[in-house]
Amino acid sequence: AQSVTQLDSQVPVFEEAPVELRCNYSSSVSVYLFWYVQYPNQGLQLLLKYLSGSTLVKGINGFEAEFNKSQTSFHLRKPSVHISDTAEYFCAVRTQGTDKLIFGTGTRLQVFP
């Protein structure tokens, strides 16, 4: 069975500092990887996705993620965060041959001034 682990439930960081949100997955078959963001009282919005090709993926709002097959990781990074990045971030995996997303438990990013 597939699973996604987000190691940090909360990440506090000061504005303009870099941040990394960690995500590890478990799967015996090929996967497609996603990061979604959920702002307060809103639905989920896709930040970026890895389907194939280059392991470094760039997304919206200055975020990027790197797929590491050997470490089964897909960590999300941003070199300089803003107050407006405060939100819940979800890592998700979709296995080949299925359409459903399996989500991690989420990481709450809190950016302080």
Kindly list the residues in this chain that would bind other proteins in the complex (CB under 8 A): 32, 36, 41-46, 49, 51, 90, 94, 96, 98-106
23 closest CA partner among 33, 11, 14: 33
Nearer to other proteins, 41 or 54 (CB): 41
d(CA 45, CA 60): 10
Nearer to other proteins, 15 or 101 (CB): 101
d(CA 51, CA 31): 8
Nearer to other proteins, 7 or 44 (CB): 44
